Amino acid sequence: MNLKGKWRVGRVVLLAILILAVSLLGFGCVKGLAPIGWSGGKVSDGTLFVGSREGRLVSINLADESRLWGEPLKAVSQPGLFGCSPAMGGGGCGGASSGVAVYGTPVVDGELVYIAGYNGKIYAYNTTSLGIRWVYPRESNLEPFVGGLLASQGKLYIGGDDGKVYALDAATGDSLWEFQTGDKIWGTPAINGDTLYIGSFDKKLYALNAADGSLKWEFTAEGSIIATPLVDNGVIYIGSFDRYMYALNAVDGSLKWKSIGKNWFWAEPVIVNDVLYAPCLDGNVYALKVATGAEVTEYDLNAPVSSRPAVVDSTVIFATRKGVVYSLATGTGEILQLADFEQDIDGPLTVYDGIVYIHTQDKLLQRINAVTGAVLRAVSLESKN
**Residue of 161, 131, 134 lying closest to 68 (CA atoms):** 131
User: Could you give phi then psi for residue 56, rounded to 5 degrees?
Assistant: -130, 150
Distance CA 61, CA 38 (A): 21
User: Nearer to other proteins by C-beta: 243 or 359?
Assistant: 243
Nearest approach, Cβ of residue 329 and other proteins (Å): 28
User: Nearer to other proteins by C-beta: 192 or 240?
Assistant: 240
Handedness of CA 251, 255, 257, 260 (dihedral sign): positive
Distance CA 303, CA 230 (A): 23
Nearest approach, Cβ of residue 376 and other proteins (Å): 27
User: Nearer to other proteins by C-beta: 157 or 201?
Assistant: 201
Nearest approach, Cβ of residue 374 and other proteins (Å): 29
User: In whole angstroms, how far apart are CA 1 and each of 12, 13, 16?
Assistant: 15, 16, 20
Nearest approach, Cβ of residue 154 and other proteins (Å): 29
Q: Is 344 helix (H, G, I), strand (E, B) or coil?
A: coil
User: Nearer to other proteins by C-beta: 22 or 294?
Assistant: 22
- Looking at this protein, which amino acid is placed at residue 312? V
Nearest approach, Cβ of residue 352 and other proteins (Å): 26
CB proximity list for 142: less than 8 A, separation 6 or greater: 120, 121, 160, 161, 162
Distance CA 111, CA 94 (A): 37
Question: Where along the sequence are the contacts to other proteins (CB under 8 A)?
Answer: 4-5, 8-9, 12-13, 16, 19-20, 23-24, 26-27, 29-36, 38, 79-82, 84-86, 101, 103, 146, 184, 186, 201, 222-224, 226, 241-243, 262-264, 266, 281, 304, 306, 321, 346
Nearest approach, Cβ of residue 20 and other proteins (Å): 6
User: Nearer to other proteins by C-beta: 262 or 313?
Assistant: 262
User: Nearer to other proteins by C-beta: 8 or 131?
Assistant: 8
Distance CA 279, CA 300 (A): 10
User: Nearer to other proteins by C-beta: 35 or 70?
Assistant: 35
Q: Give bridge partners of residue 379 from the DSSP assignment.
A: 365
Nearest approach, Cβ of residue 66 and other proteins (Å): 31
Handedness of CA 82, 88, 91, 96 (dihedral sign): positive
